[in-house]
Amino acid sequence: MHQGSCHCGAVKFEVEGTFEQVIECNCSHCSRKGYLLWFVPRDKVQVTSGEDTMSTYHFNKHVIDHQFCPTCGCAPFGYGVDHKGNKTAAVNVRCLEGVELTTLKRIPFDGRAR
């Protein structure tokens, strides 16, 4: 179980699972924010505080609910649906506690072309 939060700590969450690699997308949103994404089934993410205060940002095709803290602006995860229709969450591993980013294999994804 991993613990995570936004920068100010108003939004806290837990995510179940393990990872050794992350997606590094080059779309305008991900590249500007520096996201390193770990995709998990939606039910593996549990917001433990601040869920009622979070805001949602949509862009492009408006199919991903990019969740962020309205106080500090940090965006720890987003909600979407995979190509099979399963509910998913894209967790920004930069918002997880104790992750050594230099040890993660980064998989490039060309979101700019989509």
pLDDT in tens, the chain (114 residues): 999 999 999 999 999 999 889 999 999 988 999 999 999 999 999 999 999 999 999 887 777 899 999 999 999 999 999 989 999 999 999 999 999 999 999 999 988 887
What is the structure's pLDDT at 90?
A: 96
What is the structure's pLDDT at 12?
A: 98
What is the structure's pLDDT at 3?
A: 98
For the chain, domain boundaries: 2-109
| Other C-beta atoms lying within 10 Å of the C-beta of residue 28 | 12
- State how far the Cα of 56 lies from the Cα of 64, in Å rounded to an integer: 9
What is the structure's pLDDT at 62?
A: 77
What is the structure's pLDDT at 34?
A: 92
User: What is the DSSP code (8-state) at residue 73?
Assistant: -
> What would the DSSP string read from start to end of 17-45?
---SEEEEE-SHHHHHHT--EEEEEGGGE
What is the structure's pLDDT at 111?
A: 87
Q: Which residue(s) pair with 105 in the sheet?
A: 21
Domain 2-109, second-level architecture: Beta Complex (2.170)
What is the structure's pLDDT at 113?
A: 85
What single-letter amino acid sits at 63? V
Enter the pTM of the model.
0.90
What is the structure's pLDDT at 14?
A: 98
